[in-house]
Chains A and B, each alone.
Chain A
Amino acid sequence: MAAPGASAHDPCSIPALLARNVALYGDRPAYREKEFGIWQAWTWAEAADEIRAMALGFLALGMARGDHVAVIGRNRPAHYWAMVAAQMCGAVPVPLYQDAVAEEMAYVLEHCGARFVVCGDQEQVDKVIEIRDRAPGVEHVLYNDKRGMRKYDHSHLNWLHDIGEEGRAAHRRLEPELDARIAEQTWDTTCVMLYTSGTTGKPKGVVLSNRNIIETAKASVAFDHLGQDEEVLAYLPMAWVGDFIFSIGQAMVAGFCVNCPESPDTMMTDLREIGPTYFFAPPRIFETMLTSVMIRMEDAGDLKHALFRHFMDFAKGTGERFGMPRYRRKQSRPTLRRRVRWVYRYAMGIGFAIETLAENAVRGFFVRLRHPLEARKHYRARGPLLNLYPKPLRDYFDYRTGEVLIYGPLKNTLGLSRIRVAYTAGEAIGPEIFDFYRSLGINLKQLYGQTEASVFITQQPDGQVRSDTVGVPSPGVEVKIGETGEVFYRSPGTFVEYYKNPESTASTKDAEGWVATGDAGFFEEASGHLRIIDRAKDVGRMADGALFAPKYVENKLKFFPDILEAVVFGAGREICTAFINIDLTAVGNWAERNNIAYASYQELAGHPRVLETIKSHVEEVNRSLAEDEMLSGCQVRRFLVLHKELDADDGELTRTRKVRRRIIEEKYADLVAALYDGSAEKYTETEVTYEDGRKGRIRATLKIRDARSFPAEFPRKVAAE
């Protein structure tokens, strides 16, 4: 970890890192984007040239130090460039969620007082124009995609490309100024401002300095040995801190290439074409991919189906051992110590194999002596009599066969063939889903982080990966558990402040720099890994005093492919109840196979057989909860299947798709009441917002079902306790 401002030569801003990368990797690809069916690439030198031209253009437009530059659009190189160009001018980039409705955008633009807005296309420009009177600070709107923009009043509107050209034309006049501004940047200059989506209240602007971003990126690049030959696909919302760290922070520090998909719809195809080596996705993406694989396997022939089943079962135990890519990459020159360690390890491996073979032979010999008649039979069946050690060589070759027949082609289809490191974060991931990917030999790991920490708080080191923990503290991060069970951390990535919100800053970050995460968790004593239980403020008590952790139960429910989203109620109540959202892809496919006709989401969600299926899932969750000492009270006694999907446009989810519990409870108060008053069905009307901002109403009569609960029974404890 570099001490703050350790060396004057260390690049301490993104523009400085860019200059370093041009010098180091000048003609290696820095950005790629699929346009017109072809991957267009820009080398570091070309990208730097574009960024510089753009920065000069911004100066020509009068961008001042400390200005805020909002960037709204899908992942495209020009949008990343605009952010770096803004940094060059001493301004602060503020990426926004492109699917935000005009209202949300108005709040953020007004709050940060953005003078410049960089829009991806006409749609975004229209939104900015719509809210112009509420964000009076906006002076210049720039757009990247020219389409449909010809007829607009261009007095405050500019094509991004024109700005670059103007910058190039005026370079003699403006270059000294630009160089001076780049040179001014220090560790403490604001690097970026990101608005948290927030499960409650208005979004808050998190100010992250160069120190935060660059030091975190450096530490995490070292943690996973990322190099300049990494390939990543930039497809996550640009407003999300993860994308900023991966596509700008780590890409600049490690010097790897950022690939932008052609359009959101082609993400999966582009993923396959690029074959990223480093990949990040929220659990939802992995779930969707798994669901699509399973649905397609249903349609496959018997032979393929049988092969798939056989090898996937086989991989469950062995993938972890035989499938993982070599964790450590080739580094410059192996030190003597490392060579000795390799030799030692290989020797141990060979020794182990010989020992196993010898042991098996010896045992087999004696068993045959003692039981000459049964030995042959038992030897074939590898029965308990022989008790032979599992065969490492045979498993190894079996796994290789599976790799050729199933794992390899499957990974190729998913576009995950070349993955060296993949991360999932944001939500808990289902253990089956997690194991599925790991057993294929995809090094999928979990990390725990938040915007305020520049992502990384804890992460799983190679070789210590489990589905139920989030790993050990990242390098340079200190983590402690507060008295209430809340997780606190302190790190070089800890944010500077919430913009224009000193009260929130003070309540989140104390004088010593410890930041409250708002999550309750604990460290496992044996492994030192952190486990997260729930949001601290969501953890409550039921009427009888039993612990209530809704997220824990919801995650268990969501691990069923049929269930997309669940909201569990029960704080201060006698029993737990739940809202369920079905997954249209999975349930729709099931309906098709079972000849169940449906015309709409609402009709499918209300179908009695769907309700039966969901009921069986709920009961299964209840059964597993009954075995849990602390949470056996959280069994879901009554549930209903919602008639509409919970949606961020209706404010029910955050833009990162987390459930907004309070809002849902208020909005569907009638349904919650019906869950508790024992009625069998309930008529309800709901207001929905369509994607174009219009409102409509959905009416439905929802059936409420009871689910069986199980008496709490804990697995018998070991006698010693």
Chain B
Amino acid sequence: MNRMSSAPPTESHVTEDGRTIGPVLMELRNITLRFGGVVAIKDISFDIREGEIRAIIGPNGAGKSSMLNVISGFYRPSEGEVWFEGARRPAMRPYKVARQGIARTFQNIALFSGMSTLDNIMTGRITRMKSSLLSQALWWGPAEREESDHRAAVEKIIDFLEIQHIRKTPVGRLPYGLQKRVELGRALAAEPRLLLLDEPMAGMNVEEKEDMSRFILDVNDEFGTTIVLIEHDMGVVMDLSDRVVVMDYGRKIGDGPPEEVRASKDVIDAYLGVAHD
């Protein structure tokens, strides 16, 4: 599938396979991130457009996960600005970022292993719950109706991800591939505008990877969710993404459609390990 997008960067356009890529949703301007003396990210700028699948790739320690943490608001950049929906995002706590419509999955699965799949995905709805803690505890008034609405939304996700058979199974008992899928479900439950996936396919076998790729494409397609993903499997990245950012040692060394990036000399050098000066 050719997912190349070669249209001008400001207006929305339609890709060859019929998806609409809108205007810029998030823009990162000159982001630098330091931990003491260590510079994790060095002056990186790129944008994420509405409805696209944006990949961040790079060798180990390139700063990919740090970048994701900056986007999700977990790290505050030492320098630079994050623009979201056309406005500069002030420094805010991660839960407030989540309320803005940014959800993520984790590189190491971070589910509540004693809780069922259903309950885990239900936790993804928390940002959307309005009734007070008291009325929820008493199961009274609007809380009752609200919960059934949320349950309906969660069931739609369960149906979408085809995990009906593990609805009531504690996630700790599930195989790795399914846990990853539940985690995706939990992120989806927040109905995000921007979905961040940190190595969604790490440690999976070929079949699980194929399933996961299909789900990522379907999420993008059905819900129009903008997706940023970090991935090591080059085949997956090239197939899935519309545009790719390549990082190495905290710097951006490439940005563009997969074909262009693949041909770039800097990228090849970074991956094949040319001696750095």
Contact = CB atoms under 8 A, between A and B. Distances in A.
Interface in B87-125: 118
B160 A147 contact: yes
A380 interface: no
A148 B19 CA distance: 12
A35 B218 CA distance: 20
Nearest to A146: B222
B218 A148 contact: yes
Contacts of A151: 17-18, 221
Contacts of B17: 151
Interface string B58-69: 000000000000
A266 interface: yes
A151 B17 CA distance: 8
A37 B155 contact: yes
A299 to B, nearest CB: 14
B165 interface: yes
A690 to B, nearest CB: 9
Given A35-B159, A36-B152, A36-B155, A147 B165 contact: no
Interface in A149-172: 150-151
Given A147-B160, A151-B18, A263-B162, A37 B167 contact: yes
A36 B164 CA distance: 8
Interface residues of A, number: 14
A38 B159 CA distance: 12
B186 to A, nearest CB: 16
Q: How large is the interface on B (under 10, 10 to 19, 20 to 34, 35 or more residues)?
A: 10 to 19
A413 B36 CA distance: 59
Nearest to B217: A148
A387 interface: no
Nearest to B17: A151
A473 to B, nearest CB: 41
A483 interface: no
Contacts of A150: 18, 221-222
A266 B166 CA distance: 8
A118 B222 CA distance: 23
- Judged by DSSP, the binding face of B is helix
A157 to B, nearest CB: 14
Interface string B155-174: 11011101011010000000
Given A148-B221, A151-B17, A151-B18, A36 B165 contact: no
B218 A263 contact: no
Given A35-B159, A36-B155, A37-B155, A265 B218 contact: no
B157 to A, nearest CB: 10
Contacts of B164: 34, 37, 262-263, 265-266
A265 B165 contact: yes
A155 to B, nearest CB: 15
B155 A147 contact: no
A266 B165 contact: yes
Contact of A269 (B118, B156, B165): B165
Given A263-B162, A265-B165, A147 B18 contact: no
Nearest to B156: A36
Q: Which of A35, A37, A263, A269 has the most CB of B within 10 A?
A: A37
Interface string B3-31: 00000000000000110000000000000
Contacts of B221: 148, 150-151
A37 B158 contact: yes
B9 to A, nearest CB: 24
Query: Which of B18, B164, B221 has most chain A Cβ within 10 Å?
Result: B164
A265 B160 CA distance: 15
A265 B18 CA distance: 33
B64 to A, nearest CB: 30
Interface in B192-246: 218, 221-222
Contacts of A37: 118, 151, 155, 158, 164, 167
Nearest to A38: B155
Interface in A130-153: 147-148, 150-151
A28 to B, nearest CB: 26
Contacts of B167: 37
24 contacts: A34-B164, A35-B159, A36-B152, A36-B156, A36-B159, A37-B118, A37-B151, A37-B155, A37-B164, A37-B167, A147-B160, A147-B222, A148-B218, A148-B221, A150-B221, A151-B17, A151-B18, A151-B221, A262-B164, A263-B164, A263-B165, A265-B164, A265-B165, A269-B165
Given A150-B18, A263-B164, A269-B165, 4 more contacts: A150-B221, A151-B17, A151-B221, A266-B164
Interface of A: 34-38, 147-148, 150-151, 262-263, 265-266, 269
